[in-house]
Amino acid sequence: MAIKSGKEYVESLRKLKPRVFAFGERVENVVDYPLFQPHINAAAMTYELANDPQYEKEMTATSNLTGEKINRFTHVHQSIDDLVNKVQMMRMLGQKTATCFQRCVGLDGLNAVYITTFEIDKKHGTDYHERFRKYLGYVQKNDLMLAGAMSDPKGDRSLRPNQQADPDLYLHVVEKRDKGIVVRGAKAHITGTVNAHEIIAMPTRAMGAEDKDYAVCVAVPVDAEGVTLIFGRQTNDTRRLDGEIDPGNAKYGIVGGEALIVFDNVFVPNERVFMCGEFDFTGQLVETFAGFHRSNYGGCKVGLADVVTGAAYWMAENNGVEKAPYIRDLLAEMASMAETCWCCSLACSYQGSKTPSGAYTINPLLANVVKLNITRFAYEWMRLAQDIAGGLIITMPSEKDLRNPEIGKYIEKYLVGKAGTPTEHRMRMLRLIENMAVGAGLPEALHGAGSPQAQKMMIQRRGNFEAKKELAESIVGIKPDKHFKKITGKSEDEYFKEFREPSPKCK
Ligand code: SF4
């Protein structure tokens, strides 16, 4: 089976037995647990649309391993077109789910590890890349969802991994055996883990020789022995138990469903180990992964912006103010910011390049600009959505009040907008805006794929300020300007001397 349907994906989760905890209890049945269902539905969309001929170009790709058609979420990018189709896929999925559909983190992990293992082998004579290609074939054949796990808990941020009071605050190798390694530690706030098939764990930062044991990259099944998943809380999460209006997006939820992954002496067979001690490649792996994931944000978050802009427009119409100049101005602002981020995502894809492994990667400078813009603009377009929606997004009575036979008629009567539209529709739209513009989605846009300072560090590193300084020096005449000389036929000194010495005509 190469491409699963949404339903087949959900059913495939039933075969797994991960050790999951949420709200202080063990969750034995992930699929039927009501607080997980919206996340599972959102991830299922990444499967379902791959079966819809309308979305074939975005959702499917040709495997470089087998030549078969596969879900793009298991693909290693082979061209600029692949990079562009990927962000188009993400914008479209954002539009269809209005939330995080989670599967991109594993996709980015696959691509980053593919590229980096090739280079590790070239330098160190290891066989990680071949192992990884076999693993990739397994992922593609079974159309698996991977949780990409990069962030370690980190403890005291001023200390390196080996200097921490507790050595487990970064994932590390605790034992080497003939057939594999044993790892211990944790990965924090990892998207989509409880409903993934596999976890691909990568180092979280550049490391030195003293952190050798922490330079480890492995793939493990989500239900491997020793792995425990502790689900994170989100705004409005228990509203899912209250009905279908109050959650805001009852079908697909809010953000990705993050978990703390604990690795308590997990044995990983050699064929699933893709880095073990090669600290000199940790920085490259982190940067490659982060670049891919940051480039995505101008896709998925812009899809979300499309939905919330549509919801704000709906509210304006329902309030009878859609033609008011200030509303049109706010809507234009929202669309303009979203399309700016989209331009960045397209640009970093079109400016991508081929790596020595043959796989393609995005332009890393532009990818970081994408994400940095999202950390600002997502707050701004959500603020404008709140502005248009009005205060009802936070003062409206509950769905249970609407359904109450005694008072529901008052809500129906007094919270109505334009005549002819049921109050319930208005409440649904307001709750959607509340869910998207007030909830966990905002800090997710800020910190997901790395916090703003992480992008600024990359931008500083790749901003090429020396070259920019030389541009300025050339303009002001500190450095030579060979083209100016060709245009004028003389050196700058000769050219300006003529200005200083008045021509005979002026005398
Ligand atoms: Fe994908 Fe966006 Fe969610 Fe990241 S935040 S996993 S890019 S949908």
Instruction: Say if residue 124's pLDDT is above 60.
Output: yes
Tokens of residue 255, six digits:
């953000």
Q: Give the whole-angstrom CA distance, residue 332 versus residue 343.
A: 16
**Which protein residues touch ligand 1 with a CB less than 6 Å away?**
100-102, 104-105, 191, 256, 296, 300, 448
291: Cβ contacts below 8 Å, ≥ 6 apart: 361, 362, 364, 367, 368, 458
The per-residue pLDDT for 2 is 80
CB 394, CB 385: distance < 8 Å:
no
Looking at 60-167, list the stretches that DSSP marks H as alpha helix, in order from N- to C-terminal side: 80-97, 104-124, 128-142
Tokens of residue 10, six digits:
């959900």
Instruction: Say if residue 505's pLDDT is above 80.
Output: no
The per-residue pLDDT for 499 is 79
The dihedrals phi and psi of 201, each to the nearest 5 degrees, come to -100, 130
The stretch 38-47 carries a mean pLDDT of 97
Place of tokens 């769905």: 399
Banded pLDDT at 414 (limits 50, 70, 90) = very high
Banded pLDDT at 270 (limits 50, 70, 90) = very high
Ligand 1 center to 294 CA (angstroms)? 9
The protein residue with its alpha carbon nearest to ligand 1, atom 7, reads 296
Helices (H) and strands (E) in the chain, counts: 18, 14
Instruction: Say if residue 507's pLDDT is above 60.
Output: no
Percent of the chain at pLDDT > 70 equals 99
The stretch 251-257 carries a mean pLDDT of 90
Ligand 1 center to 102 CA (angstroms)? 5
The per-residue pLDDT for 439 is 85
The stretch 447-459 carries a mean pLDDT of 92
pLDDT tens figures, 97-110: 999 999 999 999 99
pLDDT tens figures, 276-303: 999 999 999 999 999 999 999 999 999 9
| 191 counts as catalytic | yes
pLDDT tens figures, 475-493: 999 999 999 999 999 999 9
| 114 counts as catalytic | no
Ligand 1 center to 165 CA (angstroms)? 33
Place of tokens 């020396």: 466
The secondary structure element, H or E, covering residue 219 is strand 216-221
Shortest-distance atom of ligand 1 to CA 102: 6
Helix (H, G, I), strand (E, B) or coil at 3: coil
Instruction: Say if residue 159's pLDDT is above 60.
Output: yes
Q: Give the whole-angstrom CA distance, residue 217 versus residue 136.
A: 14
The per-residue pLDDT for 255 is 85
Q: Give the whole-angstrom CA distance, residue 117 versus residue 111.
A: 10
Instruction: Say if residue 502's pLDDT is above 80.
Output: no
| 217 counts as catalytic | no
- Angle (deg, nearest 10), helices 80-97 and 325-350: 150
Q: How many CB atoms lie within 10 A of CB 378?
A: 26
Shortest-distance atom of ligand 1 to CA 296: 7
The per-residue pLDDT for 1 is 58
The per-residue pLDDT for 503 is 63
Instruction: Say if residue 213's pLDDT is above 80.
Output: yes
Cα–Cα distances in angstroms (integers) from residue 4 to residues 40, 52, 75, 193, in the given order: 14, 12, 14, 19
The mean pLDDT of the chain is 96
- CA-based angle 148:153:158, to the nearest 5? 125
The per-residue pLDDT for 256 is 83
Shortest-distance atom of ligand 1 to CA 105: 6
| 300 counts as catalytic | yes
| 297 counts as catalytic | yes
Ligand 1 center to 23 CA (angstroms)? 24
Ligand 1 center to 297 CA (angstroms)? 7
The stretch 113-133 carries a mean pLDDT of 98
Q: For a pocket test of ligand 1, which of 88, 101, 289, 306 has the largest count of ligand atoms closer than 8 A to its C-beta? A: 101
pLDDT tens figures, 72-95: 999 999 999 999 999 999 999 999
Tokens of residue 57, six digits:
């170009």
Q: Give the whole-angstrom CA distance, residue 362 versus residue 88.
A: 14
| 104 counts as catalytic | yes
Which residue, 341, 357, 287, is CA-closest to 349?
Answer: 341
CB 364, CB 458: distance < 8 Å:
yes
Helix (H, G, I), strand (E, B) or coil at 185: strand
pTM, two decimal places = 0.94
